[in-house]
C-alpha cells in the first residue's frame, strides 16, 4: 500500500497535470520543488525515489545538517528558498545546488566571492516582492533592473529567472502578483539583461499553484501537501 507521502505526492502531481492541461501547457515545462524544511531525510529519500533530485530548504542550519547526512547514493541536492545573511554565504556556496532568493547586490557579491575559489557556478533566481508587503523578503519589481546591472560583475552566479511568494488573498490579488512577474520577465527579456533568457519563474505553492501555472510558472514549491504537518524541532 502506498505511504501517505506517496499518495500526497501523487495528488500534487495530478493537480499540476490538471493545471497544465487547463492552461494548454506541456506538463514537462513545470517542475515541482518539494519543500522539505523540518522533515527528516527518510522522508526526502522516499520522495526522491519518485524521481525528484532537488529539495527546497529555508534555513542554512538545516541545509548543513541534511547535507551531512547525504550519501552519493541519494542522488539529490538542495535549493535554498529562504532569506540569506551574508555570513552564511560560504555554506550555501559549498552545499546548495540552487539559490532562489537573491535580493541584493550584497548577497550576490558574498556568494560570488565564496563560489570563485570552488570553481563553481550556482544557478540563482532573483526574489521579487510582487505584493509590496513590508514583511516579505524580496526586491521591489522596479528595483530589479538596477540589481541586474550590479550582477554583471558576479561571474559565478548563473541567473536563470525570477521567484516570488504571492499575497495570501483572493484570486484577483494573487493573479495581480503573478502578472507583475510576467511583465518583469518580459522587460528583462526585451533588454537582453545579463544575456539570460529569464525562462525560470518560480511561482506558486500549495494554495495557488493552479493560478501560478496559468500565469507561466515553471516551478511550484510545495511542502505540507506532500510531507504533511511540519515538525518544528531544534532545526526549525
Which parts of the chain have pLDDT scores under 50?
1, 234-236
What pLDDT, on the 0 to 100 scale, is given for residue 234? 47
Q: Is residue 63 part of a domain?
A: yes
CB 80 within 8 A of CB 98: yes
Residue 234 within any structural domain of the chain? no
What is the count of structural domains for the chain?
A: 1
Please tell me whether residue 212 adopts helix, strand or coil conformation: helix
Name the percent of the chain lying above pLDDT 90: 94
Q: How far apart are the first and last CA of the chain?
A: 31
**220 φ, ψ to 5°?**
-110, 140
With a CB cutoff of 8 Å and minimum separation 6, the contacts of 134 are none
The verdict on residue 45 lying in a domain is yes
Read off the DSSP letter of residue 51.
Answer: T
DSSP for 132-156, please give it.
Answer: --TTS-SB-GGGHHHHHHHGGG-TT
Query: Which range of residues forms the domain containing residue 221?
Result: 4-227
Is 82 a member of any domain? yes
Model-wide pTM > 0.85:
yes
CATH number at residue 168: 3.20.20.10
Is 235 part of a structural domain of the chain?
Answer: no
233 inside domain: no
Give me the pLDDT at residue 236, please. Answer: 41
Residues 6+ apart with CB under 8 A from 121: 115, 155, 156, 157, 158
| Residue 205, pLDDT score | 96
36 lies in a domain? yes
Separation between Cα atoms, residue 120 and residue 164, nearest integer Å: 25
Segment 69-124, tens digit of pLDDT: 999 899 999 999 999 999 999 999 999 999 999 999 999 999 999 999 999 999 99
Pairing mode of beta strands 98-102, 31-34: unpaired
**Cα gap 8→6, rounded to integer Å:** 5
Cα separation, 210 vs 204, whole angstroms: 8
Q: Which of 138, 134, 137, 133 is nearest to 176 (CA)?
A: 133
232 domain-assigned: no
d(CA 205, CA 129): 15
Residues linked to residue 200 through DSSP beta bridges, in sequence order: 161
Amino acid at each position: 500500500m502506498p505511504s501517505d507521502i506517496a499518495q500526497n505526492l501523487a495528488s500534487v502531481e495530478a493537480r499540476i497535470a490538471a493545471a497544465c492541461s487547463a492552461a494548454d501547457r506541456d506538463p514537462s515545462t513545470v517542475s515541482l520543488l518539494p519543500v522539505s524544511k523540518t522533515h527528516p531525510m527518510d522522508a526526502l529519500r522516499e520522495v526522491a525515489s519518485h524521481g525528484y533530485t532537488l529539495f527546497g530548504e529555508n534555513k542554512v542550519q538545516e541545509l548543513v545538517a541534511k547535507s551531512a547526512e547525504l550519501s552519493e547514493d541519494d542522488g539529490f541536492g538542495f535549493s535554498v528558498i529562504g532569506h540569506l545573511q551574508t555570513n552564511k554565504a560560504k555554506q550555501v556556496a559549498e552545499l546548495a545546488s540552487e539559490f532562489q532568493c537573491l535580493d541584493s547586490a550584497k548577497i550576490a557579491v558574498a556568494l560570488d566571492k565564496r563560489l570563485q575559489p570552488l570553481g563553481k557556478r550556482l544557478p540563482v533566481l532573483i526574489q521579487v516582492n510582487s505584493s509590496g508587503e513590508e514583511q516579505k523578503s524580496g526586491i521591489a519589481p522596479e528595483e530589479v533592473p538596477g540589481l541586474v546591472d550590479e550582477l554583471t560583475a558576479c561571474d559565478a552566479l548563473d541567473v536563470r529567472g525570477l521567484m516570488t511568494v504571492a499575497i495570501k488573498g483572493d484570486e484577483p490579488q494573487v493573479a495581480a502578483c503573478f502578472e507583475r512577474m510576467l511583465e518583469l520577465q518580459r522587460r528583462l527579456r526585451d533588454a537582453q539583461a545579463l544575456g539570460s533568457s529569464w525562462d525560470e519563474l518560480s511561482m506558486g505553492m500549495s494554495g495557488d499553484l493552479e493560478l501560478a501555472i496559468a500565469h507561466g510558472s515553471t516551478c511550484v514549491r510545495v511542502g505540507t501537501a506532500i510531507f504533511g504537518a511540519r515538525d518544528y524541532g531544534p532545526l526549525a
